[in-house]
Amino acid sequence: MNRRYDFDWLRIFGAVMVVVAHCALSFSPWTAIFSPDGAFAELSNAPSSKFFSELLWNLNLWLMPLFMLLAGASVCYTLGKRSNRQYVRERLLHLGFPLIVLLVIFIIPATYWVRSSSGQFDGSLLEFYLHYFEGVAPDGNFALFHMWFLVYLLIYALLALPLFQFFASAAGRRLMDKLARASKRTGGIYLFAIPLVIVQLALIHVSPPPVFAALVNDGTRFVSFFLVFIFGYILNSDSRFQMAIARQWRLIAIVTVVTSAVMFVIAWQDSFNPYVSLPLDYSWEYVGFWTVFALSSWSWLITWLGVGQRFLNVNHSLLKRASTVTYPLYLLHPIVWIPSLFIVLPWQVNPFFGFVAQTVIVLIGTLALTALLQCWSVTRFLLGLKTKTAPSQFSLRRSKGEENLPQGVSATAEKGAILVQ
């Protein structure tokens, strides 16, 4: 058994970058879109820099898709060890239960605070619970904040189960064989980008991404992420996909740089704001923009997988400890991030200094909160955490005759990576 430590490192890196993204949002000129009618002067009047808008735009290309890719890869491992019933039960406990708990104790109270502070709801918190599902943010009450990820992931895990069962059948294996042979060719890994381009071109016009991801009117993002989730399973189901990534990622990294440069130039324009100025009407600009967007997103994903294979597939004493706080870091960081807005932003300091200060505050505060909540079995259970720390489950089985795989690559048809433990 060869452990895939690179998936652990990528998951940890991604969780930290989610914190970075939210702290960057505090100092981005785009922040005003979240502060309607002049509410929350601390947000709308804070010093800002275009740099943080560029950072957010870049992270938008790959950060959450990377989580979806790793989550799909985890299904290979999970279904290889568990029955369908066990798999569904595990997903419900691990994703659904924390969703309900945090919805009740944090999301709804936070939404109430936002709505009441801006004069959009007049009533008590208890009354707001009864009106939470009336309308969709930012105009209505329903908002999932960062928990949209768990909602989407839970739906994907259940919705894709019949498809994953098909992939394990004889017909599915024949399909995987054809895809694997095609992916071995130079640039063949971009076969997976074609559906992503088609989805962007077909759906963005009729279902542009909303300001708040909340299932409602979010068709493009929902379908795109679902495809990436499925592709994560496929890429981890056959060693030939891993070999293709190992051989092609350096070339794909060049495409990543070029397409990201194009996105950078577009986002640097003063008139650009992804929440209000994306091309949504059919035109050559529409086709070009969303094609480059999808290609850049997929290129980033393959580049990260390639970098992980080559440089991150190593164990370290820090890895096991860091892996135990990755999931709580994602779940709990907004509990610290929101108060930090009213600590750091009133300082009216240089945005770069403020960004670093807020990031440090949020990371330290969330880790401290995580350490506290991990002390009791009941709080661990409520957050969907294991009662005992388990070793990394990112492992792949090396079969006979596969000893000569490229460095950092191991083979499997059933093992994968677990995104959240």
Percent of the chain with pLDDT over 70: 86
Region at 187 (left for phi over 0; alpha for psi -120 to 50; beta for the rest): left
Give the pLDDT score at 135.
Answer: 87
Two structure tokens written together for 301: 């994903």
Query: Would you say residue 12 has pLDDT above 80?
Result: yes
Gap between the Cα atoms of 418 and 364, Å rounded: 25
The widest CA-to-CA distance across the chain, in whole angstroms, is 69
Residue 221 domain-assigned?
Answer: yes
Residue 121 domain-assigned?
Answer: no
Tell me which of 272-276, 304-308, 379-383 is least confident.
272-276
Tell me which of 52-66, 69-83, 210-224, 366-380 is least confident.
210-224
Give the pLDDT score at 268.
Answer: 84
One-letter amino acid at 238 equals D
Rounded to an integer, the average pLDDT of 5-29 is: 94
Mean pLDDT (the chain) is 86
Residue 11 domain-assigned?
Answer: yes
Residue 332 domain-assigned?
Answer: yes
Query: Would you say residue 312 has pLDDT above 90?
Result: yes
Higher pLDDT, 408 or 19: 19
Domain encompassing residue 297:
2-98+146-396
Give the pLDDT score at 207.
Answer: 83
Q: 216-239: per-residue pLDDT in tens? A: 778 899 999 999 999 999 999 999
Residue 275 domain-assigned?
Answer: yes
Residue 405 domain-assigned?
Answer: no
Query: Would you say residue 288 has pLDDT above 90?
Result: yes
How many domains would you assign to the chain?
1
Gap between the Cα atoms of 252 and 91, Å rounded: 33
Q: What is the pTM of this model?
A: 0.89
Two structure tokens written together for 315: 């164990």
Helix and strand numbers, DSSP H then E, in the chain: 17, 2
Gap between the Cα atoms of 312 and 137, Å rounded: 39
Give the pLDDT score at 210.
Answer: 72
Q: 118-170: per-residue pLDDT in tens? A: 788 899 999 999 999 998 877 788 988 899 999 999 999 999 999 999 999 99
CB within 8 Å of 410: residues ≥ 6 apart: 2, 4, 239, 242, 395, 396, 397, 398, 402
Which of the four pLDDT bands, split at 50, 70 and 90, describes residue 2?
low
Gap between the Cα atoms of 76 and 93, Å rounded: 19
Q: 358-412: per-residue pLDDT in tens? A: 999 999 999 999 999 999 999 998 888 876 544 444 444 443 444 444 444 444 3
Residue 108 domain-assigned?
Answer: no
Query: Would you say residue 104 has pLDDT above 90?
Result: yes
Residue 22 domain-assigned?
Answer: yes
Structural contact between residues 418 and 393, judged by C-beta atoms closer than 8 angstroms: yes
Give the pLDDT score at 201.
Answer: 94
